[in-house]
């Protein structure tokens, strides 16, 4: 159970009465903990429910009911946006169940994109996807840092990472061999920057956002390097460097496990082990794929997967203990 | 302080969306309209729903003009042929004088003008008439906005 001011208060009061600590020290201890906490199950299902509602709003908008006046459609959307932001701020201020401001801020982060899509639909605009996502990103630029909502930060990260492939493909920025390799490297760099910049959340005492930033950064860098040499066209002169790229992903995730172990960050250890398992299995399938018959490949890969899962799970458990 | 900043962001978001709406509404209401011949196909957009993808007679560069390259800014001057408007001239710079022109991007012999989508209610894009005409509005600078589609002289979809 997560420690909160509510759950700690009786114990702190008992310590003060027993003259173990002074009232000032008691206040200092309580100040280090959040006032209340929603259970992870409540929070998870609330966010899933919120996401389903957002998808519902998107599908209602995309159904394009022409019997509804367009001003009414825009007004309803702006009303929803206003209500979600106000509910989020009031919920945080009045210390309601944390799931309520969380869902509200999730709506506040996604609805500007729905609004832009609605205006595009009303006036039949065929614009650039990059301009659409950039406008959305700018409109929610400060939202995660003012609301301190983890789900808003995740939405913010998704919009930022969507900008990379859109910018490269729309403006044809091919700094490397082609646009796809440029996207891979840009993702790998963005992942490193994200993981590093997420450490700043520690200063605000927001470990959830830091964990999300580290995890998304690790996934982005790993995926960027993993897909770097996965080009469908192989010219004769092409020097395959997938072994180096995949090796780099392996070392990177080994590093993530080590950092997670040292800094007591369980999500980083778990994610690092998952990535290590994927890389080991991928290496095996790519190397053995041309040597074995299909039946043997399935059999050996399945056995390897089972061994990997048990070994990595045991390792993870011993590290986290 | 934090709450006030969030409210300011909310007001900016609302202002941005309302301004975008008002800008395109003013273009639609005040701009001069032109009728183009169009041909439809039928895809779907994840966020905005069903739309008819349109190909105009002015989307293909006539043989007498030559623009080589990919994604080249192109200015297409229009001339009336009956009630419809067709290509009169194609340049890489805006034309002089008070002639109607569209700003597009040419890739090979195809030109796109940003008016290639017409959003329709869900499922309505499946029965598309072949004789479609698009009413467009042209802003100063040649940027076009698609206003309405017509079939048999009546707005489509009905």
DSSP labels, A22-72: -HHHHHHHHHTS-S----HHHHHHHHHHHHHHHHHHHHHHHT--TTS-HHH
What's the rounded mean pLDDT across residues A215-226? 93
Among residues 129-158 of chain A, which lie with CB inside 8 Å of chain B?
135, 139, 142-143, 146-147
Q: What is the pLDDT of residue B50?
A: 83
**Edge-first strand listing for the sheet containing B101-107:** B84-91, B72-81, B101-107, B110-112
What is the C-alpha separation between B154 and B158, in angstroms, rounded? 8
Q: What is the pLDDT of residue B43?
A: 66
Q: Between vectors from CA A278 to CA A272 and to CA A281, what angle results, nearest 5°?
A: 140
Give ipTM to 2 decimals.
0.77
**A183 closest CA partner among A162, A198, A207:** A162
**What confidence tier does A291 reach under pLDDT thresholds 50, 70, 90?**
confident
Residue B149 tokens, joined: 């589609």
Is the Cβ–Cβ distance between A64 and B121 less than 8 Å?
Answer: yes
What is the C-alpha separation between A106 and A127, in angstroms, rounded? 26
Q: What is the pLDDT of residue A60?
A: 84
Is the Cβ–Cβ distance between B8 and A94 less than 8 Å?
Answer: no
- pTM of the full structure: 0.79
**What confidence tier does A237 reach under pLDDT thresholds 50, 70, 90?**
low
pLDDT for A108 beyond 70: yes
Residue B135 to chain A, least CA–CA distance (Å): 12
pLDDT for A38 beyond 70: no
Across the A:B interface, residue pairs with CB atoms under 8 Å apart total 112
Residue B44 to chain A, least CA–CA distance (Å): 9
Give the B-side interface with A, CB within 8 Å. 2-3, 5-7, 9-10, 12-14, 16-18, 20-21, 24-25, 28, 45-51, 70-71, 112, 114-122, 145-147
Mode of pairing for the β-strands spanning B117-119 and B110-112: unpaired
CB distance from A85 to chain B under 8 Å? yes
**What confidence tier does A157 reach under pLDDT thresholds 50, 70, 90?**
very high
Residue pLDDT, tens place only, A298-309 = 999 999 999 999
What is the C-alpha separation between A218 and A204, in angstroms, rounded? 22
In order of A6, A278, A282, A303, B44, the CA distances from A24 in angstroms are: 17, 51, 57, 59, 63
Residue B88 to chain A, least CA–CA distance (Å): 24
User: How many residues in chain A?
Assistant: 321
pLDDT for A92 beyond 60: yes
CB distance from A117 to chain B under 8 Å? yes
Q: What DSSP state is assigned to residue B141? A: T
pLDDT for A236 beyond 70: no
What is the C-alpha separation between A204 and A155, in angstroms, rounded? 19
Residue A122 tokens, joined: 């009303």
pLDDT for A251 beyond 60: yes
Q: What is the pLDDT of residue A234?
A: 59
What is the C-alpha separation between A25 and B146, in angstroms, rounded? 68
Q: What is the pLDDT of residue B154?
A: 87
Q: What is the pLDDT of residue A146?
A: 92
pLDDT for A48 beyond 80: yes
Residue A90 to chain B, least CA–CA distance (Å): 8
Decide which of A145 and A174 is more confident. A145
Is the Cβ–Cβ distance between A276 and A249 less than 8 Å?
Answer: no
**A75 closest CA partner among A38, A39, A122, A43:** A122
Mode of pairing for the β-strands spanning B49-56 and B117-119: antiparallel
Q: How many other C-beta atoms are found inside a 10 Å radius of the C-beta of residue A87?
A: 18
What's the rounded mean pLDDT across residues A145-150? 91
What is the C-alpha separation between B99 and B101, in angstroms, rounded? 6
Q: What is the pLDDT of residue B135?
A: 93
Helices (H), chain A: 5-17, 23-31, 40-62, 70-93, 99-122, 129-139, 143-147, 150-171, 179-197, 207-226, 242-262, 266-288, 294-320
Decide if A122 and B24 are in contact by the 8 Å CB cutoff: yes
What is the C-alpha separation between B114 and B104, in angstroms, rounded? 7
Is the Cβ–Cβ distance between A189 and A228 less than 8 Å?
Answer: no
Residue whose entry in the numeric block shows the structure tokens 């009232």: A23
pLDDT for A290 beyond 90: no
**Ranges of chain B whose pLDDT falls below 50:** 1
pLDDT for A41 beyond 80: no
**A83 closest CA partner among A70, A63, A100, A58:** A100
Decide which of A310 and A321 is more confident. A310
**What confidence tier does A179 reach under pLDDT thresholds 50, 70, 90?**
confident
CB distance from A123 to chain B under 8 Å? yes
What's the rounded mean pLDDT across residues A139-158? 93
Phi, psi of A63 (to 5 degrees): -65, -20
């Amino acid at each position: 159970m997560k420690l909160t001011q509510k759950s700690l208060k009786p114990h702190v009061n008992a310590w003060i009465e027993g003259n173990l600590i002074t009232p000032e020290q008691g206040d200092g201890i309580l100040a280090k903990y959040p006032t209340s906490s929603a259970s992870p199950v409540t929070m998870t299902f609330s966010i899933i429910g919120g996401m389903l509602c957002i998808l519902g709003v998107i599908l209602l908008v995309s159904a394009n009911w022409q019997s509804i006046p367009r001003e009414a459609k825009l007004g309803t959307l702006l009303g929803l946006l206003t209500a979600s932001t106000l509910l989020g701020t009031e919920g945080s201020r009045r210390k309601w169940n944390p799931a309520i401001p969380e869902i509200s801020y999730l709506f506040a982060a996604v609805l500007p994109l729905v609004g832009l899509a609605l205006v595009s639909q009303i006036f039949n605009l065929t614009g650039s996807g990059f301009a659409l996502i950039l406008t959305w990103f700018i409109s929610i630029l400060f939202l995660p840092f003012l609301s301190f909502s983890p789900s808003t930060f995740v939405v913010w990260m998704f919009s930022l990472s969507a900008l990379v492939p859109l910018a490269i493909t729309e403006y044809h920025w091919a700094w490397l061999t082609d646009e796809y390799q440029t996207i891979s490297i840009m993702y790998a760099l963005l992942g490193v920057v994200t993981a590093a910049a997420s450490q700043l959340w520690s200063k605000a005492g927001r470990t959830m956002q830091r964990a999300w930033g580290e995890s998304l950064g690790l996934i982005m860098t790993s995926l960027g390097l993993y897909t770097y040499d996965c080009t469908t066209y192989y010219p004769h002169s092409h020097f395959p460097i997938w072994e180096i790229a995949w090796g780099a992903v392996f070392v990177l995730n080994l590093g993530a496990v080590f950092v997670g172990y040292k800094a007591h960050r369980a999500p980083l250890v778990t994610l690092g082990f998952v990535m290590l398992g994927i890389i080991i299995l991928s290496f095996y399938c790519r190397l053995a794929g041309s040597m074995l018959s299909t039946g043997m490949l399935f059999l050996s890969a399945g056995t390897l997967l089972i061994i990997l899962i048990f070994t990595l799970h045991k390792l993870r458990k011993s590290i986290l203990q | 302080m934090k709450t006030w900043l969030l409210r300011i962001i909310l007001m900016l978001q609302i202002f941005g969306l309302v301004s975008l709406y008002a800008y395109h509404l003013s273009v639609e209401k005040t701009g001069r309209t032109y009728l183009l011949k169009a041909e439809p196909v039928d895809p779907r957009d994840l966020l905005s729903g069903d739309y008819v993808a349109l190909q105009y007679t002015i989307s293909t560069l006539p043989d007498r003009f030559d623009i080589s390259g990919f994604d080249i800014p192109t200015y297409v001057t229009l001339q009336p042929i009956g009630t419809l408007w067709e290509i009169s001239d194609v340049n890489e710079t805006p034309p002089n004088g008070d002639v109607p022109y569209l700003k597009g991007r040419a890739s090979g012999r195809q030109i796109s003008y940003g008016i290639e989508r017409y959003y329709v209610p869900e499922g309505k894009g499946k029965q598309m008439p072949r004789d479609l005409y698009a009413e467009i509005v042209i802003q100063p600078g040649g940027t076009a906005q698609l206003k309405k589609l017509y079939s048999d002289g009546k707005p489509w979809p009905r």
